[in-house]
Structure 1
Amino acid sequence: MSTVRPIPTTGTRFTRAAAWVVGLLLTFAVLPAAVHPTEARADNPIVQHVYTADPSPLVHNGRVYLYTGHDEDGSTSSFVMKDWRVWSSADMVNWTDHGSPLSLNTFSWAADNAWAGQAVERGGKFYWYVPVTVRGTGQFAIGVAVADSPTGPFRDALGHPLVENTEIDPTVFIDDDGQAYLYWGNPNLWYVKLNADMTSYAGSPTRIPLTTAGFGTRTDNPDRPTLYEEGPWVYKRGGLYYIVYAAKCCQEFIAYSTAPSPTGPWTYRGTVMPAQGNSFTNHPGIVDFKGNSYFFYHNGALPGGGGFTRSVAVERFSYNADGTIPVINMTNSGAPQADTLNPYVRQEAETLAWGSGIETEWTSDGGMNVGWIDNGDYIKVKGVAFGPGASSFTARVASASAGGTVELRLGSPSGTVVGRCGVPNTGGWQTWTTVTCPVGGAAGTQDLYLRFTGGSGYLLNMNWWQFTPGTS
């Protein structure tokens, strides 16, 4: 059997040195955050092993599902985007990688450019609206994919574009009366009323008037008198309709307008996020989750990051008393943790707050696994609620090499060791076995580091892990 591990074709490889570099870059690239010393917070950007862009959050059954674009590694002069990714979290800090359930290959009529979209749930099905260029014409159109689960797999709902007028960046909104609206556009702004099937529409697309009263005044481009640029995000709160969007260009900032109805008239309200973050584009996404409001965006803060290699981040915010949105700055600390993580139920290895050196892939054992693990790589999981203490640790692992050791450390990659699990050669990278080792000293709520050690080359894959509580 071969011990040669194929080199991944996508993903941002992190070494321990690179992890230090990103901390340094973030210190200078974004504004510092005020952090309560005992409060666990997210690490921004929230995904580190691949580049992500154009966030679209969806709250469903106690989790936030985050739909993103995917910038390929090494893109320096153009967008190279072939698929979309899905992530989810129960606490806004630890994010599970669900892989790519939608790609250009899903649409037989699509040629290129898997750009910014949005997913929504209706009637137990999930509809994902995305812009792509059409095979043969090279013009942009909006397709719709459908799935029975928020994590897919998604399939082309129509076999042809839903809307085709050369413009991009769809957002979808379902009003309280059940009427769904699709908005999109660059350089214009359009909407259409979707039918209840979410895959067809009534009437013709309507262009929203881009007035300076509605969308602010731009002075640097006579062809575009308003600030509206692209990436609209529409939602309703307290009887008021909001449209949040990328403004001006380039570098874009995030602005917003409000209206008494989903079709206007719109009134410009100002800046949500100033131009920041080493990316000439930005894209908003706003949701409420577990009693708080969250703003998603992207920047170029990871090593190798920039305008064509972006990364999604998140901040918690509170609306002003009059319903206006405060100015939100980028931070490297992100949102506070909304809940603790339970180590005594199965946790996917690809659920992490930070990953150093790791990649993820589809697994024969179901779902995703963490792989391409070298000596010194680690996974960080925040806010793990051990309670009185754990007695053992179990993990589902595989290895086609000599294997390695999983060190269980608290607080940092060099923190207190509370357990070590050896991983043998299992006969293949997808030949799975379960290993268990004793644990001592893991109590209270801690940040957990799974640090991998061993010889040279790739050591092991990990699918999931779980602790066993100690007996009183």
Structure 2
Amino acid sequence: MPRRSLAGLLCAAAVVLLTAAVPAAARADNPIVQTIYTADPAPLVYNGRVYLYTGHDEDNSTWFTMKEWRVYSSADMVNWTDHGSPMSLSTFSWAKSDAWAGQVVARNGKFYWYVPVTSRATGRMAIGVGVSSSPTGPFTDALGHPLAENGEIDPTVFIDDNGQAYLYWGNPNLWYVRLNADMISYSGGVTQIPLTTAGFGTRTGDASRPTLYEEGPWVYKRNGLYYNVFAAKCCSEFIGYSTATGPTGPWTYRGTVMATQGSSFTNHPGIVDFNGGSYFFYHNGALPGGGGYTRSVAVEKFSYNGDGSIPAISMTTTGAPQNGTLNPYVRQEAETIAWSSGVETEPASEGGLNIGFLDNGDYVKVKGVAFGSGATSFTARVASAGAGGRIEVRLGSATGTLAGTCTVPVTGGWQTWTTVSCPVSGATGTRDLYLRFTGGSGYLFNVNWWQFAAGSMR
């Protein structure tokens, strides 16, 4: 199975970085996913974690070629677990293309994923709804047909304090409906929100679109104030926002959240509060081979101004600070990653995902690992139909202190799993952990999970 081009680009870049400027490059944590191109972030806080729902730009795209959606989650805002693709175009038998920007909301013990796709019957964009009993899916088609269809895109859903839910969407216009409590039907008609310059700013140079509003609305409420954060003034887009005292307006334009930057001519906002902090998600073209059709999701932490306004936020390579630490003494999925080079993920026969397609020198970084008084051994679940190899347990960087080395044998298949262990030393305090994969040529092995132990090895 040939490696996808993104991982190859990252692997090639890593060779240069490891021989030139590893320390500066290796500390970067934005974009937060490096195994594939991701776009259109939609975060959801649920049960002590942030679940991040994204689109997936195909490698080498020259259009918005998107066939599936992806899910990631984190408890600390830096180490993100890949949960794969629990929903795709094939979920909707009536959809033919364009797995574009959506959002997930939780209600009544279920999770509803609102997405725009192109209808097979009409050839127009329509809003479908996936439903699941788990934030990581799998999701099924809740209706078997569109919830709404008027040729426009980018749904966002907001549930007000009184329980009334609203679905907003649109490009070039902006629409909403009042969702019923079942979240898959609505009452009343489809209402168009007036796009006034007072409400959404003034665009110059385009008489057909007098306001800054372009697409990608993200509606939420904070301290009694309603926010509509949106992609503005294509192209290239920036992120602007408006506020209102009610969920349907009238809206007042408040200014720029994120100026045009980042080598992608689109952008897409998502904002949540989590564990005492506020976080702004967006996308750019920062990965190797990245651009307007090969985008990557990133995140920044910010603080609201005293009057509730959102400050100007710039893209960074450092990303959000870690909110907590990672416990190495419980099983950790190998696809929990702060940064990686040359790594891909795939479904594992034992459930969940594994990392694979590993060449000599590829690595995974896990940030802020709380070793405490010290680990004495490292265990990993591995499989290899290649020549096997070694997992180097390193601290601080991909070429940092070598704490231990585990040998991975040939197991006879890429999904034929065995467990290997090795002693480690020097893994104390809170450190950034790097698992570096070494061996001969070609793909070496897969890793499903890992775990450290304290005390003597058995």
Do Structure 1 and Structure 2 share a fold, with TM-score over 0.5? Answer: yes
Counterpart check, 1:342 vs 2:337: no
Q: Aligned equivalents of 2:174 and 2:16: distance in 1?
A: 40
* Residue identity in the other structure for 2:169: W
Counterpart check, 1:57 vs 2:50: no
Aligned pair partner of 2:13 in 3, 13, 18: 18
Give the superposition deviation at 1:422: 0.5
Task: Report SS of the residue matched to 2:64.
Answer: coil
- 1:377-416 aligned at under 5 Å gives the runs 377-416=362-401
Partner of 1:353: 338
Task: Report SS of the residue matched to 1:105.
Answer: helix
Give the superposition deviation at 1:15: 4.5
CA pair 263-10 structure 1, distance change in 2 beyond 3 A: farther
Contact in 1 for aligned 2:43/2:272 (Cα 8 Å): yes
Q: Aligned equivalents of 2:129 and 2:244: distance in 1?
A: 27
Partner of 1:440: 425
Q: Aligned equivalents of 1:107 and 1:203: distance in 2?
A: 25
Q: Aligned equivalents of 1:303 and 1:162: distance in 2?
A: 37
Task: Report SS of the residue matched to 1:70.
Answer: strand
- 1:227-376 aligned at under 5 Å gives the runs 227-376=212-361
Aligned pair partner of 2:94 in 106, 109, 131: 109
Over residues 335-356 of structure 1, what are the superposed CA-to-partner deviations in whole Å (9 max), with x where a residue is unaligned? 0000110000000000011111
Give the superposition deviation at 1:136: 3.2
Give the superposition deviation at 1:79: 1.0
Q: Aligned equivalents of 1:20 and 1:320: distance in 2?
A: 43
Q: Aligned equivalents of 2:216 and 2:88: distance in 1?
A: 20
Q: Aligned equivalents of 2:106 and 2:181: distance in 1?
A: 12
Q: Aligned equivalents of 2:186 and 2:17: distance in 1?
A: 45
CA pair 369-435 structure 1, distance change in 2 beyond 3 A: same
Partner of 1:48: 34
Contact in 2 for aligned 1:125/1:148 (Cα 8 Å): yes
Task: Report SS of the residue matched to 2:279.
Answer: strand
Give the superposition deviation at 1:469: 1.6
Partner of 1:7: 2
Equivalent residues, number: 451
Partner of 2:192: 207
Q: Which runs of 5+ in 2 are unaligned?
A: 19-23
Task: Report SS of the residue matched to 1:59.
Answer: strand
Q: Aligned equivalents of 2:92 and 2:4: distance in 1?
A: 22
Give the superposition deviation at 1:16: 4.5
Give the superposition deviation at 1:49: 1.1
Over residues 126-179 of structure 1, what are the superposed CA-to-partner deviations in whole Å (9 max), with x where a residue is unaligned? 000000000132100000000010000000000000001100000000000000
Counterpart check, 1:192 vs 2:169: no
Give the superposition deviation at 1:123: 1.1
Q: Aligned equivalents of 1:21 and 1:250: distance in 2?
A: 33
Over residues 315-366 of structure 1, what are the superposed CA-to-partner deviations in whole Å (9 max), with x where a residue is unaligned? 0000000000000000111100001100000000000111111110001011
Aligned pair partner of 1:75 in 45, 61, 64: 61
Contact in 2 for aligned 1:169/1:230 (Cα 8 Å): yes
Contact in 1 for aligned 2:89/2:97 (Cα 8 Å): yes
Q: Aligned equivalents of 1:135 and 1:15: distance in 2?
A: 36
Give the superposition deviation at 1:14: 4.3
Give the superposition deviation at 1:464: 0.2
Contact in 1 for aligned 2:54/2:69 (Cα 8 Å): yes
Q: Aligned equivalents of 2:7 and 2:220: distance in 1?
A: 33
Q: Aligned equivalents of 1:273 and 1:108: distance in 2?
A: 37
Normalised by the length of structure 1, the TM-score is 0.93
Contact in 2 for aligned 1:373/1:452 (Cα 8 Å): yes
* Residue identity in the other structure for 2:416: T
Q: Aligned equivalents of 1:192 and 1:20: distance in 2?
A: 51
Over residues 222-276 of structure 1, what are the superposed CA-to-partner deviations in whole Å (9 max), with x where a residue is unaligned? 0000000000000000000000000001000000000000010100000000000
* Residue identity in the other structure for 2:337: L
Q: Aligned equivalents of 1:377 and 1:111: distance in 2?
A: 37
Contact in 2 for aligned 1:56/1:68 (Cα 8 Å): yes
Give the superposition deviation at 1:7: 1.7
Give the superposition deviation at 1:115: 0.5
Contact in 1 for aligned 2:7/2:341 (Cα 8 Å): no
Over residues 44-76 of structure 1, what are the superposed CA-to-partner deviations in whole Å (9 max), with x where a residue is unaligned? 000011000000000011100000000000013
CA pair 257-21 structure 1, distance change in 2 beyond 3 A: farther
Normalised by the length of structure 2, the TM-score is 0.96
Partner of 1:455: 440
Contact in 2 for aligned 1:22/1:303 (Cα 8 Å): no
Contact in 2 for aligned 1:189/1:208 (Cα 8 Å): yes
Contact in 2 for aligned 1:14/1:49 (Cα 8 Å): no
Counterpart check, 1:119 vs 2:104: yes
Give the superposition deviation at 1:21: 6.7
Partner of 2:119: 134
* Residue identity in the other structure for 1:7: P
Give the superposition deviation at 1:10: 7.3
Partner of 1:181: 166
Q: Aligned equivalents of 2:289 and 2:4: distance in 1?
A: 16
Contact in 2 for aligned 1:13/1:359 (Cα 8 Å): no
* Residue identity in the other structure for 2:400: G
Over residues 273-299 of structure 1, what are the superposed CA-to-partner deviations in whole Å (9 max), with x where a residue is unaligned? 000000000000000001000000000
Contact in 1 for aligned 2:5/2:59 (Cα 8 Å): yes
CA pair 187-450 structure 1, distance change in 2 beyond 3 A: same
* Residue identity in the other structure for 1:404: G
* Residue identity in the other structure for 1:58: L
Q: Aligned equivalents of 1:104 and 1:396: distance in 2?
A: 32
Task: Report SS of the residue matched to 1:386.
Answer: strand
Q: Aligned equivalents of 1:185 and 1:462: distance in 2?
A: 42
Give the superposition deviation at 1:17: 3.9
Partner of 2:21: none
Contact in 2 for aligned 1:11/1:72 (Cα 8 Å): no
